[in-house]
Structure 1
């Protein structure tokens, strides 16, 4: 794709984000779109958000568990950028009025205490570079109509980032078996799903190492203080006004999130 077309696609996604509307899939309209093109479109989309006043605060890994892969029909991990405009604090209610077609996923977040730059990063390197881990909800949100996404569309759309909230419990990853720690997800007090860290690439730390190495080949490091979302351990949960979700990770604690308002879709 030409640089001009890549910029136009990134601008389309940014305008859809601001206007809270969806677009027909880019891959349908531009069959020549490659995965590399999609990441360049993502860069343009994020550049527009940064130019509007946001800042980069971390990274997210997407499509890491079989549950999410099977639901979306996307069978390889991807990544996106987290920005300051996506952050909710523990205890805050998420405003669905600012989202389009949101779905929640429960996962483990890593907050770094030192830089990491691949290639060559191992899961143990990730553990040693981590300040703390926390249970987390990411509320994914697609600018692509009816979630009709393949890998190219979700990558271009910044890995379908919406907003996220970290639980206010903090754990030392050296004290928790991240692969075996069980997760229980409840919706409005009723059990929704159970999983464990091994559902995410064998361990959430493996997923973070994969991303560190993938970005390292592009010259992009993880920076101290950044938040890294390691990928959903749960199936995606549709949410509406009044819903309350909790995810509890064994040996760590619970993240709770409530929702109000009405999304655009």
Structure 2
């Protein structure tokens, strides 16, 4: 993509955010764009958000399961940025008007106690850098109409990020086997999905290693205090105004997201 095409893609996504209206897949307009181009689009948006007063507070890893990679025709995950405005308090009503077509996923969130910067980060380095883990719910959202996304679309759209709800009970990393930790996801009291940490690249810690080694050569350090979402333990589930979602994870406890009724702005 040349500079004009890059600006056009950023403008299309920016309008989707501002108007709360999804757009057609970007890949239709930019069929020859590469994943590297998509990250340039993503980074330009994040830069604009920071200049407007938001702040990067972490990262997310997407396409972390083998099933999602097969669906998208890729052989590695992607990543996006988490900004301060994306974080919502547990049990407090989340305005649904800020989302276009939200879905929700249970994830084991890492909170870093020390910096991680690749390349060359090992599992041992990643384990040492984690301060504690929390149960979390990621709200994924897409500015692309009907979720008809390609790899280029989702990367450009900040890896389809929407929001984050963190649980309030920290657990030491060594107190739980991330691979075997099971998860249940309930929406309005109904069990809708089950999964385990092993669905995330074999172990969520592998996603953290991948992220550090991927963003490091780009000059990005995973900072102390940052939150890293390594990928979903189950399939994403749609959410609607008024829904209450509870994720329960073995050894970690639970986390609850409450979505405000439609009439609340």
TM-score by length of 1: 0.94
Inter-partner Cα distance in structure 2 for 1:139 and 1:74 = 23
Between the aligned partners of 2:106 and 2:124, the Cα distance in structure 1 is: 23
| 4+ runs deviating over 3 angstroms | 66-70, 72-76
Matching of residues 83-162 of structure 1 within 5 Å? 83-162=83-162
CA distance in 2, matches of 1:225, 1:173: 15
CA 1:53–1:218: 2 relative to 1, 3 Å: same
What's the CA shift string for 1:220-258, capped at 9, x where partnerless?
110111110111111111011221111111111100111
- Report Cα offsets for 1:106-151 as digits up to 9, x if no partner: 1111010110001111222212111110011111110111101011
1:73 corresponds in structure 2 to 72
Show the 5 A alignment for 1:171-250. 171-250=171-250
**Contact 1:14/1:48 (<8 A) preserved:** no
Could you tell me which runs of 5 or more consecutive residues in structure 1 were left unpaired when the two chains were aligned.
none
Shift of 1:73: 3.4
Paired with 1:74 and 1:61, the residues of 2 have a C-alpha distance of: 17
Gaps spanning 5+ residues in structure 2: where? Answer: none
Do the aligned residues in 2 keep the contact of 1:74 with 1:150 (CA within 8 Å)?
no
CA displacement at 1:44 relative to structure 2 = 1.1
Question: Alignment RMSD, CA only?
Answer: 1.5
Distance 1:200 1:123 in 2: 15
Q: Which moved more, 1:133-142 or 1:14-23?
A: 14-23
Q: 2:217, 2:47 → 1: CA distance?
A: 21
Moved more, 1-10 or 244-253: 1-10
Number of equivalent positions: 262
Distance in structure 1 (CA, Å) of the matches to 2:126 and 2:187: 31
Q: Using the alignment, how far apart are the partners of 1:68 and 1:164 within structure 2? A: 20
Show CA shifts across 1:76-113 (max 9, x none).
Answer: 31100111110112222221111111111111110101
- Counterpart in the other structure of 1:41: 41
After TM superposition, give the deviation of residue 261 of structure 1 in Å.
Answer: 3.5
Indicate the SS of the match to 2:13. Answer: helix
CA distance in 1, matches of 2:47, 2:11: 10
Q: CA deviation at 1:185?
A: 1.2
Q: Aligned partners of 2:136 and 2:34: how far apart in 1?
A: 31
Larger deviation: 110-119 or 61-70?
Answer: 61-70
Distance 1:79 1:140 in 2: 13
Q: Residues 141 and 160 of structure 2 are in contact (CA less than 8 Å); yes or no, is this contact kept in structure 1?
A: yes
TM-score of the superposed pair, with normalisation by structure 2: 0.94
Structure 1 67/262 Cα, relative in aligned 2: closer, same or farther at 3 Å?
farther
Aligned 8 A contact 2:90 2:167 in 1? yes
**Cα distance, 1:67 vs structure 2:** 4.9
Q: Is the Cα–Cα contact under 8 Å of residues 245 and 258 in structure 2 kept in the other structure?
A: yes
C-alpha distance in 2, partners of 1:226/1:180?
A: 24
1:69: how far off?
4.5
Per the alignment, residue 8 of structure 2 pairs with 8
| Conservation of the 8 A alpha-carbon contact between 1:122 and 1:206 | no
> How many Å apart are 1:11 and its aligned residue?
2.3
